[in-house]
Structure 1
Amino acid sequence: MTDRTQTTWESHPDMQEMRERHARAERAASTQQGQAVEALALITGLYLAASPWIAGFTDFGTLAINNLITGIAYAFLLSGFGHAYERTHARAWAAALIGLWTIVAPWVVAGNVDTTRTIVNNIIVGVVGLLLALAASAAAGETDRGDRGRTARTAR
């Protein structure tokens, strides 16, 4: 007979790291800054998706479809960022790229879509989206710095 030892999750070598990661996610999502960024990012993404109909440039099919797709992607990237803490930085930077793309899209997408209405709409939404993505990244970074400070204090 072989001697089998039963292992539990409590004895798993990565258990402490998993608990710390979960605690960081909870702290990032429970701060007022994290909740505000998450809510504003969701609103920004939904507005970007609906902006062709709200601002009235549905005639420009390429830009309308572009804004619809990028708005949905932006909303998905930054909503619930605390629940996927280990990917927060990557998601925030991807959202920042969407914000930059939104700013330049009226000049880059096919067709003559660079009208005053589309330019003003996309620049404002793009800047707001970029700032929110940077704030999400900063919120995650602050939680990391706080953990490092606590680890250094407890190690002494």
Structure 2
Amino acid sequence: MTTHPRIEEHPDLLAMRAHAAEVSAKPAVQMAEGLTLLTGLYMAISPWVVGFNGNPLAVSNVVTGIALAVLALGFGSAYERTFGMGWVAAAIGAWTIISPWAVQHASATTGTIVSNTITGVVAVLLGLMTTAMARTKRR
């Protein structure tokens, strides 16, 4: 009877985990994680900062902001299992950009549009940066 090694001991899996640990230790990745967390938190509180808290868009911003912040916490605490989800941060950012026009009955003011556009662009860039960092070559 032959015994097979457990999947947790597979050399490819161990190499992938080592690579993820190496990438997550880089200052640029840690900066992106922190900025993603701050972007998500700002997105969640932006209805009160900008002054559209009575608007249906406020619910969208709170939900997507919390989702982005939770995703950033995942990047920081379990990068080897969450780095492939950087595209989700970019998608949340894209939604944030178009949401002032997509949410029905949202009376989008100039402040709302500017806040969501800047926050969305930052989230898209950070999501793409997180995804790109995960794809760096091993040395």
2:100 is equivalent to residue 106 of structure 1: yes
Computed over aligned residues only, the root mean square deviation of the Cα atoms, in angstroms, reads 2.0
The one-character-per-residue Cα deviations of 1:11-66 (angstroms, maximum 9, x if unpaired) are: 54653123212211211210011100000000000110111011111121x10100
User: Residue type of the partner of 2:75?
Assistant: F
Question: Partners in 2 of 1:136 and 1:67 — Cα distance?
Answer: 22
Give 1:87 shift.
4.2
Q: Indicate if the aligned counterparts of 2:24 and 2:79 stay in contact, CA closer than 8 A.
A: no
Runs of 4+ in 1 over 3 A off after TM superposition: 11-14
2:71 is equivalent to residue 77 of structure 1: yes
Match in the other structure for 1:124: 118
Give 1:84 shift.
4.1
Question: Partners in 2 of 1:80 and 1:29 — Cα distance?
Answer: 12
Match in the other structure for 2:45: 50
Which residue, out of 13, 22, 47, partners 1:18?
Answer: 13
User: Residue type of the partner of 1:19?
Assistant: L
**In terms of Rg, which structure is larger?**
1
- The 3-state SS of whatever aligns with 1:35 is helix
Q: Indicate if the aligned counterparts of 2:24 and 2:30 stay in contact, CA closer than 8 A.
A: yes
| TM-score of the two chains, using structure 1 as the length reference | 0.79
2:34 is equivalent to residue 39 of structure 1: yes
Unaligned stretches of 5+ residues in structure 1: 151-156
Match in the other structure for 1:30: 25
Match in the other structure for 1:88: 83
Q: Indicate if the aligned counterparts of 1:21 and 1:86 stay in contact, CA closer than 8 A.
A: no
How many pairs does the alignment contain? 137
